[in-house]
Structure 1
């Protein structure tokens, strides 16, 4: 195939070569001018819009459309010049599918960025998470399909690959079984990712508990989900586990949660003053959202009683800090106001 590009195999006709250079140069200049003019007008129109979404799309499309204009210019020159036609016949079969794939890839990324921007400015946190999750999964799926089809179209323009394809078609039955068996994990991950995007059992930013790991969903891929825990460790969980197993999602609809704080006290403890102090302290906390604030005796045993203080907050992080503050204050208050209510255990060690 490379012999076609060896100039020593050809008798160069200099007038024709000059004509080809002029034809190609004029075509490229016109294409560059038209591309620059079109994008200049488009950018001016995009600047007048209220959001930068149009600008994001144009920036993603600037490079692939410039090269597409170059390819169109070369194809136009090939209509009037034999040398240009020879060059275009050599590279056109590879350039066309590659450029179409590049444009499709840029469109997917551009629209994903535009939708991501709209999700970020949304005031509805739950809806924004839902939209971001679908954007992430569907854009990756579309990107994979575009790249796969583009590479396939480019490769099948090569004579050697065509021969391999013909050989495979001769044994299509065995080839289908082999490819199906090899691609089963990839297809399973692809289907799991699409199912995750459609059903949305979890979304980006959700607080989940699975396999003993508690953390925020940081990223959702086709084959795995990244859960970032409070100590900044990352748990890599297969996507199929969220579809095949039970897990907890603490922020499925919203982050409004109620959490308990337990106190195990002596049966002689006076519950009334404890409840009054709990309600007084809770009312002063800015993290409390006012939905839930109750103290109940949930257990009474021979040597102890259990008091459950239920509190609520608008976010999961606020709830965690509120529970810690209530626990610390109530124990400190009990040490000062009702020291007899605290349980004391003695540890004795025998001498050997």
Structure 2
């Protein structure tokens, strides 16, 4: 193997053949080409070694092809700087560029390791399971922290790269400081961005929302599809996407239907005539839900929750394992109960009663409408029991009679 003096003599000879201006470029091109060929051969050997292995390293190595190739070129550039006869200005520039590139490569590799570690961890979780609450908790935490980590690595790498150049070192130092005290450095000008970043960390720790949670935000019902470092994507039931800033989930109220469990209670209302067969409806409701694949076997109930002059309000409650199943169960119960009432008890459907009196007059005799048709004075007396003399004359009362 030739020593350093022999290598220098070879480089000097190449520069003599191609001239002082073109010679350095020929040396750089030849050495870089040799480095690329060496990397290609070495990479094939590395891939054969890790092909049948498992673990984090086996998943990281295949993604390091481009960073390793660039790193080899940087090392080669360092060797050229020390061995080649280059002008002093070129040596200084190449040294700084090589150092900055090496720092960027280290940041690049760190990002790759972070992404592979997150993918490997989340790949073990059973997100397709019916009861995936714990899995969604872990995925949400890991994804949010991953994005925060990527941003931190980027700021640190950029700050170190800028710090290698004397003219922009102050900007690099500022970015380096912002990674640890971003709020103090950026100040109020970057408050919206920082608020979302801080909200992302809060969401990762406290988890008011998780991936695939069913939420109602701004009056829209949907699932949490994605949580980024600054916003949340909510997939609405009609396949629209609602983009919501992260700070919204920290500062404003919203509904989370799957906060502790995916099980949810669904309700169905019917407005029926007073003669509706409530006991038979309870039996029919249980029959419907027991034959439905959407019911989870926990809650089924039917009650009269309200009455008014014309109809009664009948409410049915039933549970399902997920909100989509609860929606399907509600629709199924509503439809089948209406069909049963139409077929077996048509008289239970809402209707309006009227009574024909002498002279052919059609009047209603129930509810507050009867009072509305009477003179105000009579209606007031019947409703309140206040003596007529106590009511002002302008409101239908009578003036008090003076004694003797």
Same structural fold, with TM-score higher than 0.5 when normalized by the shorter chain: yes
Structure 2-normalised TM-score?
0.70
Match of 1:92 among 88, 91, 98: 98
Pairing 1:278-289 to 2, within 5 Å after superposition: 278-289=285-296
Q: Is the 8 A contact 1:28 1:73 kept in 2?
A: no
Match of 2:49 in 1: 41
Task: Go from structure 1 to structure 2 and tell me whether the alpha carbon gap of 1:28 and 1:195 turns closer, same or farther (over 3 Å shift).
Answer: same
Match of 1:339 among 339, 346, 349: 346
Helix, strand or coil for the counterpart of 2:244?
Answer: strand
Match of 2:60 in 1: 57
Task: Go from structure 1 to structure 2 and tell me whether the alpha carbon gap of 1:54 and 1:206 turns closer, same or farther (over 3 Å shift).
Answer: farther
Helix, strand or coil for the counterpart of 1:325?
Answer: helix
Match of 2:328 in 1: 321
Q: Is the 8 A contact 2:216 2:256 kept in 1?
A: yes
How many residue pairs were aligned? Answer: 326
User: How far does residue 339 in structure 1 lie from its aligned partner after superposition?
Assistant: 1.1
Task: Go from structure 1 to structure 2 and tell me whether the alpha carbon gap of 1:127 and 1:62 turns closer, same or farther (over 3 Å shift).
Answer: farther
The separation in 2 between residues aligned to 1:156 and 1:269, in whole angstroms, is: 81
Structure 1-normalised TM-score?
0.80
Match of 1:244 among 218, 240, 251: 251
Instruction: Compare 99-108 and 298-307 and name the one that shifted more.
Output: 298-307
The separation in 2 between residues aligned to 1:340 and 1:19, in whole angstroms, is: 100
Task: Go from structure 1 to structure 2 and tell me whether the alpha carbon gap of 1:262 and 1:69 turns closer, same or farther (over 3 Å shift).
Answer: same
Q: Is the 8 A contact 1:134 1:197 kept in 2?
A: yes
User: How far does residue 77 in structure 1 lie from its aligned partner after superposition?
Assistant: 5.3
Q: Which structure has the larger Rg?
A: 2
User: How far does residue 276 in structure 1 lie from its aligned partner after superposition?
Assistant: 1.5
Helix, strand or coil for the counterpart of 2:242?
Answer: strand
Task: Go from structure 1 to structure 2 and tell me whether the alpha carbon gap of 1:78 and 1:324 turns closer, same or farther (over 3 Å shift).
Answer: same
The separation in 1 between residues aligned to 2:168 and 2:66, in whole angstroms, is: 29
Match of 1:101 in 2: 107
Match of 1:156 in 2: 163
Pairing 1:258-273 to 2, within 5 Å after superposition: 258-273=265-280
Match of 1:172 in 2: none
Helix, strand or coil for the counterpart of 1:288?
Answer: coil
Match of 2:78 in 1: 75
RCO higher in structure (CA 8 A, sep ≥6): 1
User: How far does residue 133 in structure 1 lie from its aligned partner after superposition?
Assistant: 1.4
The separation in 2 between residues aligned to 1:68 and 1:157, in whole angstroms, is: 17
CA deviation map 1:26-54 (0-9, x unaligned): 666555544443343123323xx7xxx66
Instruction: Compare 228-237 and 115-124 and name the one that shifted more.
Output: 115-124
The separation in 2 between residues aligned to 1:19 and 1:226, in whole angstroms, is: 53
The separation in 1 between residues aligned to 2:228 and 2:146, in whole angstroms, is: 11
The separation in 2 between residues aligned to 1:258 and 1:78, in whole angstroms, is: 73
Task: Go from structure 1 to structure 2 and tell me whether the alpha carbon gap of 1:76 and 1:178 turns closer, same or farther (over 3 Å shift).
Answer: closer
Task: Go from structure 1 to structure 2 and tell me whether the alpha carbon gap of 1:207 and 1:177 turns closer, same or farther (over 3 Å shift).
Answer: closer
Pairing 1:23-38 to 2, within 5 Å after superposition: 30=38, 32-38=40-46
Helix, strand or coil for the counterpart of 2:292?
Answer: coil
User: How far does residue 157 in structure 1 lie from its aligned partner after superposition?
Assistant: 2.9
CA deviation map 1:115-159 (0-9, x unaligned): 232235674511221122122211111111222222222233334
User: How far does residue 184 in structure 1 lie from its aligned partner after superposition?
Assistant: 2.3
Q: Is the 8 A contact 2:273 2:348 kept in 1?
A: yes
The separation in 2 between residues aligned to 1:254 and 1:166, in whole angstroms, is: 47
Task: Go from structure 1 to structure 2 and tell me whether the alpha carbon gap of 1:342 and 1:148 turns closer, same or farther (over 3 Å shift).
Answer: same
Match of 1:184 among 169, 184, 191: 191
Q: Is the 8 A contact 2:60 2:116 kept in 1?
A: yes
Helix, strand or coil for the counterpart of 1:183?
Answer: helix
Helix, strand or coil for the counterpart of 1:45?
Answer: coil
User: How far does residue 60 in structure 1 lie from its aligned partner after superposition?
Assistant: 2.5
User: How far does residue 319 in structure 1 lie from its aligned partner after superposition?
Assistant: 0.9
The separation in 2 between residues aligned to 1:261 and 1:341, in whole angstroms, is: 17
Instruction: Compare 192-201 and 181-190 and name the one that shifted more.
Output: 181-190
Instruction: Compare 225-234 and 327-336 and name the one that shifted more.
Output: 225-234
Match of 2:150 in 1: 143
Q: Which runs of 5+ in 1 are unaligned?
A: 1-6, 169-175, 347-352
